Structure 1
Amino acid sequence: MRNTILKATLMAAMASVCGGEAIAADYKKNPFTLVYDGAISKNEPGKVNIHPVSYKLNGLDIAANVYTPANYDPKKAYPSIVVAHPNGGVKEQVAGLYAQRLAEQGYITITADAAYQGASAGQPRSVDKPASRIEDIHGMADFITQYAGVDGKRLGLLGICGGGGYSLAAAETDKRFKSLATVSMFNSGRVRRNGYADSQLDTLEQRLQQASAARAKEAAGGEILYSGDANLTDEQIAKLPFDLYRQGYEYYWKTHAHPNSTFKYTTSSLLDLMRFDATQQIDLIRQPLLMIAGSKADSLYMTEDAFAKATGTQDKELFKIDGATHIETYWVPRYVDTAIDKLSGFYARTL
């Protein structure tokens, strides 16, 4: 059913999303299956280039894209930025957009599919455990600091949505990252535990029981159970209670759909997710910190909460993009431009 919907939506010439019109991207028309506006379609001398790579992380093959700046010379020393993708996202979507745009500013950037997700290896599929997602970020740092031309002493980190929450956790202890930024940070543990906007506190115990039962079934060799995936009609999407979910379905299922991207995650992952919080030990972040979020994002409360708790660094800024919602920071040109301008100044100063 999902494949049918995906095929149909990708064939649509135009799709209404986020209060405007967005051309539906077709991953089949890009040789690197990129689905963002202005994506590289071929590597050319003197321009930003993309390099699909693969490396091992704890025995698993990780699929990643490295972006090199215009006139890249492997004998020179460039600052570098690791870009962590949103929950359910893949490297060909918003993480790739930001990685490419930062490469245009002179950085070598990397974004990788999380282990067990996207084009990366790992069984069962769609495991979404915080420890693994944090390890993915450490792994990208391992790889990119050995890449030709990278100055390992000038390494930055950018996390988007769920990748933002995991980036906070990674940077607490990984001091290879000299500065850290987030865009539309999503605290996965808080949301899985309490519900979005803390709307499911009364069902916490019930959901933990379901996750425990799913883990028991897996251990007994039974069916792998999943949460988070749904086939929704346009009418059902319109009735969802939060902008993030309404616009998220439009983005991931229609205008920027990619076959490796999915909302689903193993139900047993909730055992790990629900005891995690992106703000635990956040005072260990001593690096410069920039947190970007849309002023109209219904996820803004998570960025504001984390920013207030990040007391270990005095070099920190909360920057709100006027008028933007959470998903609009992923693709709306004027909001992306604003974010990139802010990020460029931040990394130029801190790297």
Structure 2
Amino acid sequence: MTVTNKNIKFNANGIQVAGILNVPNNAEKNKSLPAIVCVHPGSSCKDQTAGIYGAKLAELGYVTLAFDASYQGESGGEPRYTESPAARVEDISYAVDYLTTLDFVDEERIGVLGVCAGGGYAANAAMTERRIKAVGTVVGANIGRINRHGDPIQVLETIAKQRTAEARGAESMITNWIPRNQEECAQAGIKDIDIVQAVEYYTTSRGQSSNSPNKLKFTSMAKVIGFDAFHLADILLTQPLQIIVGDIQGAFGSYQDGHELYNKAASTNKDLFIVEGASHYDLYDQPEPVTKAVEKLHAFYTKNL
């Protein structure tokens, strides 16, 4: 199915959020198409893996919307490079708002798909956003859990000092999500598959985008550390749920988080699909594992939207 791509903007709590709307051709004649909000990983943008899944699902007949998080990419919001779990979750509801204004979208057939941290945000949003009728995650990760590894109290103490310095006039501290290049990764002796492949994906021609500059406002990580994407899933996450992970495990822990979400979610209609031989980043853009994931998601959304 041929698809038309439209660059759009929608309002999210006063911030203009930039998105890519993928519309199957002749959608206007249908008037009742299902739609899927596609949520990108931490540090990522609409042009990368969320956009890949959005484009592929649109070819199968879904209206899809991938967007840059508030404060990031081509979206507005200050301070720049902020990772705000509250805003990330609320952005999803505003994306749903936008979809409900389109005549060719059936407001009773809206789903969400999140990749990596976007998967955690998608699950969290669905707990209180009842317009979301089906939830899909690909290597979904609980970004709070990831950032509570090591010594989170020491990190919070450092953030506290930095906030005081900035309140007194110091420049904002902008750090990196991952090593800046493969050489830096090698020099640090990093061998974990998730981190090594993250550097390959984000800093080379494989997935590099100007809207994903590997920049992070350091003080915003305080709220990330205190965030639990799966909190109350055992009570509030009741929608149909499709979880997809790879069986090659790394530091980001999406395999572990996938199992935790599956076990915790109150959904009675839920499935955990493990792509054998696939790593976290294989499921971002590699043809064979992505094809398997899309086939599984297509069957899931066909049944539940």
Q: Structure 2-normalised TM-score? A: 0.94
Instruction: Name the CA shift for 1:272/1:329 in 2 (closer, same or farther; >3 Å).
Output: same
1:334-345 counterparts in 2 under 5 A?
Answer: 334-345=288-299
1:273 aligned residue: 224
Q: Which of 175, 180, 183 in structure 1 is aligned with 2:138?
A: 183
Q: Which of 6, 12, 27 in structure 2 is aligned with 1:57?
A: 12
Instruction: Name the CA shift for 1:230/1:47 in 2 (closer, same or farther; >3 Å).
Output: closer
Measured in 2, the distance between the counterparts of 1:97 and 1:229 equals 21
1:215 aligned residue: 163
Following superposition, the deviation at residue 227 of structure 1 comes to 3.2
Is residue 259 of structure 2 the alignment partner of residue 304 of structure 1?
yes
Instruction: Name the CA shift for 1:290/1:128 in 2 (closer, same or farther; >3 Å).
Output: same
Q: Which of 160, 173, 190 in structure 2 is aligned with 1:240?
A: 190
Q: Which of 85, 98, 101 in structure 1 is aligned with 2:53?
A: 98
AA aligned to 2:85 is P
1:260 aligned residue: 211
AA aligned to 1:276 is F
Instruction: Name the CA shift for 1:337/1:233 in 2 (closer, same or farther; >3 Å).
Output: closer
Is residue 96 of structure 2 the alignment partner of residue 127 of structure 1?
no
2:62 aligned residue: 107
Measured in 2, the distance between the counterparts of 1:96 and 1:187 equals 21
Aligned residues of 1:330 and 1:336 also touching (Cα < 8 A): yes
Moved segments of 4+, more than 6 Å: none
Instruction: Name the CA shift for 1:313/1:231 in 2 (closer, same or farther; >3 Å).
Output: closer
Aligned residues of 2:180 and 2:214 also touching (Cα < 8 A): no
Q: How many residues align?
A: 298
1:235-271 per-residue CA deviation (whole Å, 9 max, x = no partner) reads 4424324211100110111011011103332111122
Is residue 96 of structure 2 the alignment partner of residue 152 of structure 1?
no
Measured in 1, the distance between the counterparts of 2:181 and 2:2 equals 41
1:101-123 per-residue CA deviation (whole Å, 9 max, x = no partner) reads 11111111101100000000011
SS of residue matched to 1:73: helix
Measured in 1, the distance between the counterparts of 2:63 and 2:152 equals 42
Is residue 247 of structure 2 the alignment partner of residue 295 of structure 1?
yes
Aligned residues of 1:69 and 1:103 also touching (Cα < 8 A): yes
Instruction: Name the CA shift for 1:229/1:181 in 2 (closer, same or farther; >3 Å).
Output: closer
Q: What do you get for the CA RMSD once the two structures are aligned?
A: 1.5
Q: Which runs of 5+ in 2 are unaligned?
A: none
Aligned residues of 1:297 and 1:326 also touching (Cα < 8 A): yes
